[in-house]
Amino acid sequence: MKLIQTALVTLSVVCANLLSAAEIPVINPDHAVAVIAKKLAAYDAGQPAKAGYPTEAKGAKWVTVPAGDWVSGFYPGALWYTYEFAQRHHWPDQNAWLKRADAWTVGLTNQQFNTTNHDLGFMLMNSFGHAYRLTGEERYKAVVLQAAQSLTKRYRPEVGLIRSWGSIDDLKQYTVIIDNMMNLELLMWSSTHDGTTKDGTAQDLAKIATSHANRTQVEFFRPDSSTYHVVDFDPLTGAVKRKRTAQGKAADSCWSRGQTWAIYGYAYMAEATQDKKYLEQSIKAADYYLAHLPADHVPPSDFQSELTGLEFKDSSAAAIACCAFFRLSRLSDDPAVKNRFWQAAVETLSSLTQAPYFSDSPDKASALLYQARNYHADATHPLTNTSLIWGDYYLLEALLTYDAGKK
């Protein structure tokens, strides 16, 4: 999830009257952000070295990862979102949030040269990208532009996609995951902020991003607009070798968070390129998601899961979808579509900011509960029924978007 575009403030004009007062759930962004902020500040206070980036937690203590991990940008990003909210609402300690955000962002500086990871968008747009957006300091922008250069090294024209996993020199296997749609913002943003490819044989940044989006649209979507999680290609010819899952229930099932990466990623590409085919793809993927959604607006970790109960849900997927629905509501020219996605976003956000999905308990590391990193049949498994740092990150993004639209 990426950057909240400045234009989101126009939600107040576009969407304020789409639903009657009786239909709009009651959401209190001030309370929800304050709860998340308290948890973020508590973690920061216990890490004087500003090292060890939160990833997941079964209880009150985060499991941490180094700066090179794909999740490292979410905690700094959450700090930047909190700083943005603090500025907007004139919190007296807003400068403390700026200092926290900068300190945790600086720790990722060397990742701009990382060519082993396709998730530089998650890592550096969420940290340095927000930093530049909110401060205008060139030192942040320079890191983002270099990161875009590094990401292009994982692109192979014969495949037309950015390699997700594996070495950039592997000529036997070329694996791509649907999550990679979320990293295209790094390339698109850099292409409009003085970033160009330094390798004369490479395509420009925007062309690489659109190539990836175009081939993903062909290879990752089923006829019903559900998504495959993983597709393996022949790196020499670009031919598809197999389609499978790594985090869902089965190769032919729909991993719910993967579906939301697709909805969000194509909504972003629609906004960045003004290409209607991307908007249409995002809406189709969103329609599948909504058609299979339970009444509480929070999906199971896999849409084909037969497991019931909160412990098998993934509220982080719902938070990502919520952000995407706000964007789709703004991008569509059809008043009925605007209304449908605005309502879906607000109803989802309402569910995520109330019990049982939201808690200020000090016994839980995150505010957002019942998240799942992977589909798993055992609720005690570390990767399900857990806290995830990106859940709170996208929940903050949704809250800031809603708050801007209501002002």
Residues 44, 102, 119, 302: which is the catalytic one?
119
∠ CA(102), CA(322), CA(317), 5° rounding? 85
CA distance 171 to 379: 38
Do residues 194 and 146 touch, judged by C-beta distance below 8 A? no
Which residue is catalytic, options 44, 102, 179, 403? 179
Residue 109 and residue 143 in contact, taking contact as beta carbons nearer than 8 Å: yes
Does residue 403 carry a catalytic annotation? no
| Cβ burial, residue 306 (10 Å; 0-12/13-18/19+) | exposed
For residues 341 and 17, is the Cβ–Cβ distance under 8 A? no
Question: Is there a catalytic annotation at residue 119?
Answer: yes
- Between the CA atoms of 253, 258, 263 and 267, what dihedral angle is there, to the nearest 10 degrees? -150
Listed in sequence order, the residues at least 6 apart from 46 whose beta carbon sits closer than 8 Å to its beta carbon are: none
| Structure-block tokens of residue 262 | 């697709």
Cβ pair 129, 3 in contact under 8 A: yes
Which residues are catalytic, by number?
A: 119, 179
